[in-house]
Structure 1
Amino acid sequence: MAKEKSITELKDERNQLIARSKEIINGAKTEKRQFKPEEAEELGTNQQRRAEIDIEIEEHEAANRQQGKRHQPVANESFSLRRAILAQMNKTEQRASEASVIEDATKLHRSVAATAENCGELIVPLTYQKRAAYTAGIEATTGVVIDEEQQELLLPLEANLVLSQAGVRMMTGLVGNIYWPKHSAAQVFWEGENDEAKDGKGEFSKGKLYSPNRLTAYVDISKQLLIQENRSVEGLIRQLLAVAIAQKVEKTALSNAVHEDNVPDGMFQTLGSVNGAMDWAKIVELETNADLNNALFGNLGYIMHPSLVGKAKTKVKDASGAGGFIFGNDGIGMLNGYRALRTNNIPKELQEAKDEFGIVFGNWADYFLGQWGGIDLTVDPYTQATKGMVRLVVNSYWNMGMIRPESFTIASMK
């Protein structure tokens, strides 16, 4: 006997039928012809099945109302990632507080990734939200980004990303390909008193296309830890997952690796003209480059390798030493009046001598870091079973890049 479909599965099937019907109708319109016999038959079958689905959904919802199973969280009970993993591992029913979040995340995730039915995956969102925080325009358009209010973070990625601390445009719950439209500046002209005005409108272009790329990792968690009803244990599990994702995201964003398909390009693929031994003039030049490109505004700051931080703390600005050290000993991480963040994810061994370290200055609001769909967790209780561990395999979808490359100076120093 076939397994009865859930409301979510029925709605997914209905959406697929609608999409297929539209495809048939649009095909006939484009070719300016009547429906082929097989197309007419398929449209009729689709229409009948959609009517059946509507009835099945109504029956499900009526039954849920009678049993009080509307998949709404219990009052004052919040989502627990630990409980969700434990239920998935033990193959028990999710509690209402987890089920509603997982159901919403699964709907979103299926629009991004091919997820097999009943394959044991646990889909959770990166953030709590009523629907996707950002919706991307389809490829035929220039792309529109809609901002919505976000609530408590499910996975604390931002605390683990130097890029987030720098103020990048971090967007979660994306759907479909996304463009960052560009607009050329409007022009104005001096004209005689009665001369006809010229058209000074600017022009829109699609800009760079961003589509999701799969990122995968895994973490091992003690079974004994999972059964602990403890708030700090919940936080630890979320932190472990966040670090596993964040480290790879950041290393990729700041990478100098050569281009690969299905891997976002790193900032350090191409180095600028500022390089060599660190001195005050080179630090100022990074700021000046942004100023010359009319980009000296927004979330301005440096991200640099820790080795350069150490160098800057011991190197004076001028020969006399009267100007103090390049990196002031103020305890708040300021360089040339701008915030300076450090990470070992930034490249080292740069230039021909392999003796320089990466540093970048710019307006980080012009850097895009996007995440599509939900976080796909496969709960594997077998691989590490002899050690009393559960393996969580994480699949997520990301892309990233500079919206305005002229806002950044990518350099290396020693």
Structure 2
Amino acid sequence: MNLHQLREQRATAVQGMKTLVDAATAAGRDLSAEEIQKFDTLKTEERALSAQVERAEYLGEVERRAAGTPVSGAPSADFDRLAGSVSVTKVIRAQMEGRSLDGAEAEYAREAERRSGRKAEGAFVPFNSLEKRANTTATAPELVGTDHRADQYIGPLREALLARSLGIRVLSGLRGNVSIPKYGSGLETGWVTEGQPVPEGQMTFDQVTLTPKHVGGKTEMSRQMIQQSAPGIEQLVREDLSALIAKQIDRAIINGTGLLGEPLGILQTPGIQTVADVPATWAEVLAMLEMLDDVEIQNGRWLTTAAIRTALAAAEKVAGSGSGFLYDNGAMAGLSLAASKSVPTGKLILGDFSQVMLGVWSEVDLLVNPYAEPAYSRGGIQVRAMATVDTAVRHPEGFVVATAAVGG
């Protein structure tokens, strides 16, 4: 039996004892002889399981040390699988009820704290939840009902979260500040005749740095909604909380200012290539591609606004020639093109998004406050989600940015 199963069984035993006590308390009486016997049986079972869990945890830690597994290293396959078992609503419900986490949620939180080197204010949940498409639950009653299909809930539209799907590099499990060496200049080569010295140069190096920056948001949820077990509630809660963080990270990756605790984004990074205007002809599209080719960047993709994408889809390659349109079937010049509200108005970005690094120091940290106003007065709870990340561009010349003329 693995560690996760042992913890689940222990949690079941604890819940069984709690159910017996709660039932007797609600009836205004003590436990009956039969209930006392059941309680003692569950207590013995819980103690035995706790001992097995302790032994399993100890052996697991010894094995990790023996294998040389770094505490702050990249997530293992086991850790990734564990993340997929975490229930956000269980984490929130445990904080609402003032009890400790158990099962996969407790195991994940402990491992995340060990890897990040810090104690969560509330409880860690998987950072990869930010990959989800976001919807919201505006009112709880629509999510509860005898014949209700919560899995078919239709929420208001939110912008798609695209930056991470474009292929940026994610560095997780970070602890201190990060400095990554980068080649600068100075290496010289050339042809020589017999007996002549080869060209000589002095190599120089640069560095790309990442430092922790914090992002967070708050949302209000109905107490009843969190306690309901209808299908789809877990997904809705996860997506609502994820959107609070992911939207801000997306915007920072694309256009972060680097000021007031915000990361420095692609558009604000010194050294990116620029052109005067968004292309309106095929020749202008090819000119932007040539700028990437000149710096030997091969993995280009386009990112822009919906308005510019519409304009590109209406612009012929050569006006009046019937040669087709600049943007067609999801691509321009054979490279995929995506649109996002996180891109500032009038901007078209062409680049290799694997040149962007997203450093992650902290998993998503959830903290539940059942007493915050005005949520408390309405019987709801306030949930705060925070993460600690930073972004940097390895080679700014790997991006070409076009800016539409005023009114374009």
TM-score class, shorter-chain normalisation, is: 0.5 to 0.7
Q: Are residues 1:156 and 2:131 paired?
A: yes
Partner of 2:12: none
C-alpha deviation, 1:162, in angstroms = 1.0
Q: 1:93 aligns with which of 100, 104, 110?
A: 100
Q: How does 1:183-262 map to 2 (within 5 A)?
A: 183-184=183-184, 187-193=188-194, 203=203, 205-230=205-230, 232-255=232-255, 257=257, 259-262=258-261
C-alpha deviation, 1:370, in angstroms = 2.0
Give me the whole-angstrom Cα distance separating, in 2, the residues matched to 1:381 and 1:264. 32
Structure 1 counterpart of 2:51, which letter?
Q
Change (3 A) 1:103 1:204: farther
SS at match of 1:161: coil
Partner of 2:296: 294
Structure 2 counterpart of 1:156, which letter?
E
Change (3 A) 1:66 1:305: closer
Partner of 1:385: 376
Partner of 1:336: 333
Q: How does 1:69-148 map to 2 (within 5 A)?
A: 69-70=53-54, 78-111=85-118, 121-126=122-127
C-alpha deviation, 1:279, in angstroms = 3.2
Q: How does 1:325-364 map to 2 (within 5 A)?
A: 325-328=325-328, 330=329, 333-348=330-345, 357-364=346-353
C-alpha deviation, 1:362, in angstroms = 0.7
C-alpha deviation, 1:277, in angstroms = 6.8
Q: Are residues 1:366 and 2:355 paired?
A: yes
Give me the whole-angstrom Cα distance separating, in 1, the residues matched to 2:322 and 2:200. 56
Comparing 86-95 with 230-239, greater Cα deviation is found at 230-239
Give me the whole-angstrom Cα distance separating, in 1, the residues matched to 2:401 and 2:91. 43
Show structure 1 runs of 5+ residues with no match: 1-62, 127-152, 349-356
CA RMSD of aligned residues (A): 3.1
C-alpha deviation, 1:230, in angstroms = 4.6
Give me the whole-angstrom Cα distance separating, in 2, the residues matched to 1:322 and 1:154. 45
C-alpha deviation, 1:275, in angstroms = 1.3
The answer to whether the Cα contact below 8 Å between 2:179 and 2:210 also exists between their aligned partners in 1 is: yes
Comparing 178-187 with 95-104, greater Cα deviation is found at 178-187
C-alpha deviation, 1:308, in angstroms = 0.5
The answer to whether the Cα contact below 8 Å between 2:256 and 2:263 also exists between their aligned partners in 1 is: no
Comparing 305-314 with 282-291, greater Cα deviation is found at 282-291
Structure 2 counterpart of 1:263, which letter?
E
Structure 2 counterpart of 1:81, which letter?
V
Give me the whole-angstrom Cα distance separating, in 1, the residues matched to 2:48 and 2:133. 38
Give me the whole-angstrom Cα distance separating, in 2, the residues matched to 1:98 and 1:288. 50
Structure 1 vs Structure 2: percent identity of aligned residues? Answer: 21
C-alpha deviation, 1:358, in angstroms = 0.7
Deviations 1:315-361, CA, capped at 9 Å, x for gaps: 21212232112112x2xx1111100000011111xxxxxxxx11100
C-alpha deviation, 1:67, in angstroms = 2.4
The answer to whether the Cα contact below 8 Å between 2:358 and 2:390 also exists between their aligned partners in 1 is: yes
Deviations 1:245-284, CA, capped at 9 Å, x for gaps: 1111111222275x51421123333782331673333322
Give me the whole-angstrom Cα distance separating, in 2, the residues matched to 1:106 and 1:321. 62
The answer to whether the Cα contact below 8 Å between 1:303 and 1:360 also exists between their aligned partners in 2 is: yes
The answer to whether the Cα contact below 8 Å between 1:304 and 1:359 also exists between their aligned partners in 2 is: yes
Change (3 A) 1:225 1:321: farther
C-alpha deviation, 1:180, in angstroms = 3.0
Change (3 A) 1:231 1:105: farther
SS at match of 2:171: strand
Change (3 A) 1:64 1:157: farther
Change (3 A) 1:249 1:155: closer
C-alpha deviation, 1:212, in angstroms = 1.0
Give me the whole-angstrom Cα distance separating, in 1, the residues matched to 2:161 and 2:359. 13
SS at match of 1:174: coil
The answer to whether the Cα contact below 8 Å between 1:179 and 1:206 also exists between their aligned partners in 2 is: no
Partner of 2:31: none
> Under a length normalisation based on structure 2, what TM-score does the superposition of the two structures give?
0.66
SS at match of 1:386: helix
Alignment coverage as a number of residue pairs:
304
Give me the whole-angstrom Cα distance separating, in 1, the residues matched to 2:131 and 2:230. 18
The answer to whether the Cα contact below 8 Å between 1:108 and 1:373 also exists between their aligned partners in 2 is: no
The answer to whether the Cα contact below 8 Å between 2:130 and 2:245 also exists between their aligned partners in 1 is: no
Give me the whole-angstrom Cα distance separating, in 2, the residues matched to 1:177 and 1:204. 22
C-alpha deviation, 1:107, in angstroms = 2.6
SS at match of 1:164: helix
Structure 2 counterpart of 1:400, which letter?
T
Q: 1:403 aligns with which of 391, 394, 399?
A: 394
SS at match of 2:274: coil
Deviations 1:132-173, CA, capped at 9 Å, x for gaps: xxxxxxxxxxxxxxxxxxxxx454358953112211112332
Q: Are residues 1:176 and 2:176 paired?
A: yes
Comparing 179-188 with 401-410, greater Cα deviation is found at 179-188
C-alpha deviation, 1:396, in angstroms = 1.0
Partner of 1:268: 267
C-alpha deviation, 1:203, in angstroms = 4.0
The answer to whether the Cα contact below 8 Å between 1:156 and 1:238 also exists between their aligned partners in 2 is: no
SS at match of 2:366: strand
Give me the whole-angstrom Cα distance separating, in 2, the residues matched to 1:239 and 1:199. 57
SS at match of 1:238: helix
Change (3 A) 1:335 1:277: closer
Partner of 2:62: none
> Under a length normalisation based on structure 1, what TM-score does the superposition of the two structures give?
0.65
Change (3 A) 1:68 1:360: same
Give me the whole-angstrom Cα distance separating, in 2, the residues matched to 1:410 and 1:404. 14
Give me the whole-angstrom Cα distance separating, in 1, the residues matched to 2:256 and 2:104. 43
Give me the whole-angstrom Cα distance separating, in 1, the residues matched to 2:48 and 2:174. 30
